[in-house]
């Protein structure tokens, strides 16, 4: 596993330690992390502070996203995929999509290269969280109980 996915996993674990949902993300440009974030919906009481959105906010204005790579421990949802497409981020590397399929087809249909690493560590983080927090998870993905 490369250093960038490792950093995204550390962000996910930080979110979990804060009482939030364990999803993390980093944005890489020219081989350097320029933004990092984790899901803060619970911590901030903000329904749109998903990991990828937090990561993009932390990166700030970067001008062109050409050549960037967005790493996320979980396949991005439509909200986050929309940001990827809007800003022209060319590549997304996801830790897994087994626990949540996300918006892979949407991103690919708009020219984004999407790689799913299918990492056991990422799947374990999410499965444990979902099992222990089903209502919070359903809220995060927009499913009514």
Annotated catalytic residues are: 52
Asked whether 100 and 77 are in contact (CB, 8 A), the reply is: yes
Distances (CA, A) of 21 to 3, 78, 134, 138, 145: 22, 17, 11, 11, 18
Neighbours of 50 (CB within 10 A): 26
The two three-digit tokens of residue 22, written as one number: 């364990």
């Amino acid at each position: 596993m490369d250093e960038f996915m490792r950093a995204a996993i550390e962000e996910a674990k930080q979110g979990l330690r804060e009482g939030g949902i364990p999803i993390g993300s980093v944005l890489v440009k020219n081989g350097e992390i320029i933004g990092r974030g984790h899901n803060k919906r619970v911590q901030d009481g903000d329904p749109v502070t998903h990991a990828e959105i937090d990561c993009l906010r932390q990166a700030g204005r970067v001008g062109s996203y050409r050549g960037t790579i967005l790493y996320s421990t979980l396949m991005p949802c439509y909200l986050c995929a929309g940001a990827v497409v809007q800003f022209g981020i060319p590549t997304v590397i996801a830790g897994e999509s087994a626990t949540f399929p996300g918006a892979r087809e949407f991103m690919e249909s708009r020219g984004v290269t999407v790689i799913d690493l299918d990492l056991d560590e990422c799947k374990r983080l999410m499965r444990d969280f979902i099992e222990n927090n089903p209502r919070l998870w359903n809220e995060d993905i927009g499913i009514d109980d």
